[in-house]
Amino acid sequence: MLISNPKLALLITEKIGKNWINNLEEIKQLERFIDDQNFCNNWSQIKYENKQDFAEYKQQTTGIVVNPNSLFDIQVKRLHEYKRQLLSVLHIITLYNRIKKNPDVDILHRTFIFGAKAAPGYYMAKLIIKLINAVGEIVNNDPDVRDRLKVVFVPNFSVSIGQRIYPAAELSEQISTAGKEASGTGNMKFSLNGALTVGTLDGANIEIREAVGADNFFLFGLTVAEVKALKSQGYNPEQYYTYNQELRQVIDCIASGYFSPGKPNLFQPIVESLLGKDEYMLLADYQSYLDCQERVNQAYRHPEYWTQMSIINSINMGKFSADRTISEYCQEIWNVESVTIDMEAYSQEAAGLQRYCQI
């Protein structure tokens, strides 16, 4: 946060002093400002400025124009089928189809930001990246959309680019199939920086939801037990396809080649994977995910309420500090004591941070 979100770090320090930097649990002291209108305004203003900074970076590096007044809905992480970037794509196409059906439909303005690398030999992962870009090409350039939806793929996702993205995030997509994510760490970075999570009961999402409270977390999807039960009784994705009209239209749309002009079969492997085995159960979670995103829309239409939830997320991330984890290991497992390190010997940035912490 000190490096990547300096404005928020400064606001926090102005309110509660600097001890939170070395002991993140102290960030909880911000609780007493939760009804302080001035503090809440400062908090949301900083989020807005971080969004502007990202928009400027995106425009300068790629020419793509991003509206900082839209909801920043972000999924950045390795590209893997279990992480279900594709579920977010199904959501985007659903919204797009609603606009095509009724161009005047009242729809929350959203910018969908993806960043992900695929392993070199992972064919499906690469095809999903291709689909995200292809959907962006159509959605972003369709005059009916009128810039209400925008799909942005950030190439070469890395920690340095993450430092621009996490501080600008409002909605953190943590939508893996329950039982597949060991922990996740991106989920913590987002929440600390004031994003709200839309997520399944998987990995550290479970502890994050406990820490921030169920009211401040957008939960959807099957649980681990439900995934198991559904698989053992013989999961049939085609049933969802047959009985859910919007879902059927989305999949038909991909299958028709709508997003791959001149190459109608390009995304056929994705369609076959969904209607065949659907190993990661996207079709089973589709409606629950859409309903949850509708709750997100409702909440976002009340900016003061949203800001309070954002603050609550951030101030309850104390236990997710790596410092806390390591010091517990030192005491309980390794039986070692801390030593002082001369940071100047390492790097200028580290030295600068250490001075900042000691002010």
Output the CA–CA distances (angstroms, integers) from residue 314 to 2, 167, 186, 320, 353, in the order listed. Answer: 14, 11, 14, 11, 21
**Least CB distance to ligand PLP at residue 166 (A):** 8
**Least CB distance to ligand PLP at residue 115 (A):** 8
Stretch that binds ligand PLP, among 65-73, 151-159, 207-215, 276-284 (CB under 6 A): 151-159
Instruction: List CB contacts of 120: < 8 A, sequence separation 6 or more.
Output: none
Nearer to ligand PLP, 180 or 189 (CB): 189
Identity of the residue numbered 134: A
Whose CB is nearest to ligand PLP?
186
| Other Cβ atoms within 10 Å of 314 Cβ, number | 24
**Least CB distance to ligand PLP at residue 275 (A):** 27
**Least CB distance to ligand PLP at residue 81 (A):** 13
**Least CB distance to ligand PLP at residue 354 (A):** 22
Instruction: List CB contacts of 141: < 8 A, sequence separation 6 or more.
Output: none
Contact between 150 and ligand PLP per CB under 6 A = no
**Least CB distance to ligand PLP at residue 297 (A):** 23
Tell me how far apart the alpha carbons of residues 291 and 221 are, in angstroms, rounded to a whole number.
10
Q: What letter would DSSP give residue 195? A: P
Contact between 82 and ligand PLP per CB under 6 A = no
Q: Which residue blocks in the chain are alpha helix, DSSP H?
A: 6-16, 19-22, 37-62, 85-101, 123-141, 159-165, 186-192, 205-212, 224-232, 237-243, 245-255, 268-275, 282-300, 303-315, 322-329, 348-358
Nearer to ligand PLP, 205 or 273 (CB): 205
x-or-dash pattern for ligand PLP, window 173-202, by CB under 6 A?
-----------xxx--x-------------
Contact between 162 and ligand PLP per CB under 6 A = yes
Interface of this chain with ligand PLP, residues 316 to 345, rule: CB under 6 A: none
Residue 156 structure tokens: 């070469």
Instruction: Label residue 156 left, alpha or beta by phi (over 0 means left) and psi (-120 to 50 means alpha).
Output: left
**Least CB distance to ligand PLP at residue 136 (A):** 21
Interface of this chain with ligand PLP, residues 38 to 77, rule: CB under 6 A: 77
Nearer to ligand PLP, 156 or 348 (CB): 156
Residue 106 structure tokens: 């009242």
Stretch that binds ligand PLP, among 158-166, 239-247, 260-268, 272-280 (CB under 6 A): 158-166
**Least CB distance to ligand PLP at residue 18 (A):** 25
Output the CA–CA distances (angstroms, integers) from residue 79 to 94, 115, 240, 329, in the order listed. Answer: 21, 8, 25, 31
Nearer to ligand PLP, 181 or 278 (CB): 181
Tell me how far apart the alpha carbons of residues 122 and 269 are, in angstroms, rounded to a whole number.
13
Output the CA–CA distances (angstroms, integers) from residue 265 to 46, 93, 240, 269, in the order listed. Answer: 45, 18, 23, 8
Nearer to ligand PLP, 204 or 270 (CB): 204
**Least CB distance to ligand PLP at residue 1 (A):** 13
Nearer to ligand PLP, 159 or 345 (CB): 159
Answer for which of 41, 158, 265, 298 binds ligand PLP (CB under 6 A) is 158
Answer for which of 159, 336, 339, 359 binds ligand PLP (CB under 6 A) is 159
- Which pairs from 133-137 meet CB under 8 Å and 24+ separation? 134/259, 134/260, 134/266, 134/267, 135/89, 135/92, 135/93, 135/96, 135/259, 137/259
**Contacting positions for ligand PLP (CB under 6 A):** 77-78, 157-159, 162, 184-186, 189
